[in-house]
Chains A and B, each alone.
Chain A
Amino acid sequence: MTTVAATPRFNTGRLKDVSFWAEWAAAIGLVLLVIVFQILNPTFLSTGNIASMLVAAAILVILAVGQTFVVATGGIDLSVASMMTLGAVGFGQAYSHGWGLTWSCLVAVAVGAVTGLINGLVIAKGRITDFIVTLGMLSAASGAALILADGKPVTVIDTTLLQLSTGGIGVFGWTVLIAAVVAIIAHVLVFWTRFGTHVLATGGSREAANATGINTDRIKIAVYAVSGLLAGLAAILLVARVGAAEPASNTSFLLNSVAAVVLGGVSLLGGRATIAGPVIGALLLTALTNGLTLLGVSQFYQPLAVGFVVVLAALLTRFQK
């Protein structure tokens, strides 16, 4: 009933159409969640909680955007979280060897971009399935992170980095603004550049894209490099948030990045994608965990709730035209 009131422009015919609901599943889900949590706990929509939710969502948003590019080509990147971990460890090593903040950040991004590039090259040139290659990279990058860090976290105490994780403009933390800029650039890339069209064409029909002369190998390599680069960027935000570079496995980030993409209505078969969808998906997942925590629900129930929501969204997308 709330949605009807909020969207008087849509005629009721569209509201009876299942594919309409499927397309907007993430947005509607987010609105419903917010309403329910706000009723159950009025501090949910307090400025402080909104700010902390957005900060908590920033890393996931960046990873989900990278994942979206890959999924749009019909692939999947199972190594996003491991690349982020490796990027964070690279950052920690550079920082502890006195390279300074700027160089450490560049190292994190470069480590991510290069690992992503390797994914793409092996997939495109080696003709091996995306799933297998990135599964291998998931393990290899985590291993490399453990070796490089010798299994130990490196504490990073840097005032600028602390500013990054705590400061901001109004309710928006710096990390939130970084994530927003990433999402906007990604949106422009997908919908307003030849690259974006070629990404969608590659996912839609690789053969057809090839026949028009699109170098689909290059597109594949590029999307994995983008995913790696964004994982490297996310690594910086992770180090800023934790205050240390840890060789920890961040499996929940991997699962949530795929979940956000699915919630966002992006087809895992490739060929169709938006950036807004996965971003809203990431916000929804963050709001879900945050709300459950606020309500004092045990942490153990959170993965269960996430799994339930994702499968529900996947069921809905079956009705998407």
Chain B
Amino acid sequence: MSALLSADGVSLAFGSVQALKDVSLTVAEGEITALVGDNGAGKSTLVRCIAGVHRPDHGTITMRGESLHLKSPEDAREQGIETVHQNLALVEDLTVWQNLFLNRELVHKMGPFGLLDRRRMQRQAREMVATLAVNVPAVGSRVRRLSGGQRQAVAICRAAGFSSQLVIMDEPTAALGVQETARVEELITKLRDDGRAVLLISHNFDQVMRLSDQVWVMRAGRCVGGRRTADTTGQEIVGLITGAIQ
């Protein structure tokens, strides 16, 4: 197991709220790494630092041994880090294909100008969506018309496309029903089988124990421990989350 990405001593404060305190963890290549913790523990904030949304006050984020200086989500995407944010970063008024290619639009270049290559984007979007295990919507339909599971599938599809190396998912199944959750879990496993690293935030212990290879636990802004999933139990993880195990 070699580390694809590591965070070292990452701290971040929002005014007087110290959201992250000296957080260090690693994400291994080709594995599903789970990140768990109570609400407000700082999981989303950490993930936003890795995704280039926030810039840490202290600490470094390293990818393949090289330290990253992410100034924007675009920088992170260029490094092959794609994120499915907790609040689903899709634009509901745009179509599926427009969302899949948002800020990655394909254009016919004409000097300094570029006209959208709508047809090519639609075709590629169909191909991207066809690889999903979920029953897929027509790529021309607006996201507003999709079900929760379909939206999540589109968001994951976007993160999985474009040769990403690390896919971060912030509670991807929190708002889904049983069947939709099962489908999204299939997608997550499929990403790992394709050789990609996945960083999965989840509140669902069953899911974490079933899917992940490694678990990191956060409590009150700190990373309080990491375990190989095979060597731990749900009970131990709960203990770490609540602070019963120090």
Contact = CB atoms under 8 A, between A and B. Distances in A.
A62 B118 CA distance: 27
Contact of B115 (A192, A215, A267): A192
B102 A201 contact: yes
A207 B87 contact: yes
A198 B114 CA distance: 14
Interface of B: 51-53, 72-75, 77, 83, 85, 87-94, 98, 102-105, 107, 113-116, 118
A210 B73 contact: yes
B77 A271 contact: no
Contacts of B113: 193
Interface string A172-208: 0000000000000000100111100110110111011
A211 interface: yes
A197 B92 contact: no
A213 B77 contact: yes
Contacts of A214: 102-103
B147 to A, nearest CB: 16
Contacts of A272: 93
A209 interface: yes
Nearest to A214: B103
A193 B91 contact: no
Given A200-B91, A200-B93, A212-B77, 14 more contacts: A192-B118, A193-B113, A194-B114, A200-B94, A201-B94, A201-B98, A201-B103, A205-B91, A208-B91, A209-B102, A211-B83, A211-B89, A213-B103, A267-B93
How big is chain A's contact interface, by range? 20 to 34
A80 B90 CA distance: 32
The dominant DSSP class at the B interface is: loop
Contacts of A211: 51, 53, 73, 83, 85, 89
Nearest to A201: B91
A271 B92 CA distance: 8
B10 to A, nearest CB: 20
Contact of B98 (A188, A197, A203, A215): A197
B89 A212 contact: yes
B155 to A, nearest CB: 10
A190 to B, nearest CB: 11
A209 B73 CA distance: 10
B107 A194 contact: yes
A319 to B, nearest CB: 15
Contacts of A200: 91, 93-94
The 5 closest A-B pairs by CB, nearest first: A213-B74, A271-B93, A204-B91, A211-B89, A204-B93
A188 B108 CA distance: 14
A188 B83 CA distance: 31
Contacts of B118: 192
A191 B73 CA distance: 25
9 contacts: A188-B115, A193-B107, A193-B113, A193-B114, A197-B102, A201-B91, A201-B94, A201-B103, A210-B53
Contact of B105 (A197, A208, A210): A197
Given A198-B103, A201-B94, A212-B103, A207 B89 contact: yes
